[in-house]
Amino acid sequence: MNNIGNMIQFQIYQEMLSPEPNPNKLPVVYEEWGEKAREVLKDGPYYYVAGGAGSERTMDANLEAFNRWKLVPKMFRNVENRNLSVTLFGHTIPYPVLSAPIGVQSIIHKDGELASARASAELGVPYITSSASTIPMEKIAEAMGDAPRWFQLYWSKDPDIAKSFVQRAEASGYSAIVVTLDTPMMAWREYDLKNAYLPFLAGEGVGNYFTDPAFCAKLDQSPEEDPLSAIMHWTQVFGNASLTWDDLAFLRKHTKLPIILKGILQPDDAKLALEHGVDGIIVSNHGGRQVDGAIAALDALPLVCEVIQDQIPVLMDSGIRRGSDIIKAMALGAKAVLVGRPCMYGLAVAGEQGVKEVLQNMIADLDITIGLSGVSSVQDLDESILTKEDDKRILRPSQI
């Protein structure tokens, strides 16, 4: 949709002309979604979503990193028609935005992943189904029709499950496999420990496992007959801390889909990813939920892109909150970004409609901000639009 920003903006302003204020009006300000989510969620689920690892300094760093880069808008550039589309792995998507893989959404809203997947599908935003979704991947696929979707793999300790997951994903119309590398085990999350809250132990987020033939084959009784034993078995097979780069060959053997590695922060790992022939990478620190004190994802992005040299797409997440964040990430080399927590606050507050409005508003903001910055296509974004806070070159008249 061309110039979605102006359209959405106008739609919202038009409410001014209606005689009665809309009692169901949802937030527009990002921070208000978070505040409203806090009101509707109990401590356990709220902190599971909003919290991070350890001191949560990585979570803060993700946001601060965006703030250190400033846009330097260009003028007189004919920005009447903007193009936000990007092509990834042979498919063109309307906006450089994907819905990040997020598990256990049933703890936030009764419709869980189905609401998020439907909202993404409506906008043409690819939805990345998590291995840890409460609703099984086939049901999510069914709710999405032909809309684009990827599957995120938590690589199980049991290779039969890992193999089965990617094959099920391929069979139900997912078009890429995102392998999350940063979660071979749950991180030290102080709030979840304080609240003694791990939703999987209550049978949430295990939908893909409980419907998986390879998982069920190792149980004495079905998960319906003996859920507790099934959950205990899940705790044994969920993560796999023994994986190394050599294991990628196993995955390549079992799927023809593009393989995208999520959680890359080291330039050397980017080099290894290239050497092992993966199809894409996602620079991410899991929203500050895994390694306390880790580098902000945005700060890791430039060096990773320097290694990759456009040979494969580099995506990023961790800290995307507004349109300008997307512009900064793309100017530093990302081909597209993943949106995580904002969608979850939308889901908590207003289900499918909430997720849709969060994404739609962020895309509208992107469209308007890119235009105001003097750029008419996201594909033209580069570092010429950016300056760093401590870099005063831009102010020196001799250089203008």
Residue 259's identity, in one-letter code, is: I
Q: What is the helix (H) or strand (E) element at residue 92, kind and residue range?
A: strand 91-93
Please pick, from the candidates 27, 34, 54, 101, the single residue that binds ligand FNR as defined by CB under 6 A.
Answer: 101
Least CB distance to ligand FNR at residue 137 (A): 12
**Contact characters 30-69, ligand FNR, x per CB under 6 A:** ------------------xx--------------------
Would you give the distance in Å from CA 171 to the centre of its chain? 23
Tell me the C-alpha distance between 147 and 388, whole Å: 38
CA distance 294 to 265: 9
Instruction: Single out the residue of 36, 139, 328, 341 in contact with ligand FNR (rule: CB under 6 A).
Output: 341
Tell me the residue type at 394.
I
Contact 177, 260 (CB under 8 A): yes
Choice between 233 and 289, CB closer to ligand FNR: 289
- Taking Cα atoms as reference points, which of 20, 127, 112 lies closest to residue 354? 112
Q: Do 45 and 107 form a contact (C-beta atoms < 8 A)?
A: yes
Residues forming a β-bridge with 71: 386
**Side chain identity at residue 339, one-letter code:** V
Q: Least Å distance between CB 131 and ligand FNR?
A: 6
Least distance in Å: CB of 112 to ligand FNR? 12
Site string for ligand FNR, 103-122 (x = CB under 6 A): x-------------------
Q: Which two tokens stand for residue 136?
A: 């099984």
Phi and psi at residue 280, in whole multiples of 5°?
Answer: -170, 165
CB-CB neighbours of 120 under 10 Å: 26
Nearer to ligand FNR, 4 or 177 (CB): 177
> Closest approach of Cβ 44 to ligand FNR, in Å?
12
| Number of shown-chain residues binding ligand FNR (CB under 6 A) | 23
- Restricted to residues 271-330, the positions that interact with ligand FNR (CB under 6 A) are 284, 286-287, 289, 317-320
One of 91, 109, 233, 286 is an active-site residue; which one? 286
Which of positions 122-141 make contact with ligand FNR (CB under 6 A)?
130, 132
Whether 109 is a known active-site residue: answer: no
Q: Could you tell me the smallest distance in angstroms from the CB atom of residue 11 to ligand FNR?
A: 26
Give the residue with the Cβ less far from ligand FNR, 233 or 286: 286
Residues 6 or more apart in contact with residue 233 via CB below 8 angstroms: 215, 218, 219
Cα separation of 234 and 208, whole Å? 11
Q: Counting contacts by CB under 6 A, is residue 149 touching ligand FNR? A: no
Question: Looking at the annotation, which residues are catalytic?
Answer: 286
Q: Report the interface residues with ligand FNR, using CB under 6 A.
A: 48-49, 100-103, 130, 132, 152, 180, 262, 284, 286-287, 289, 317-320, 338, 340-341, 344
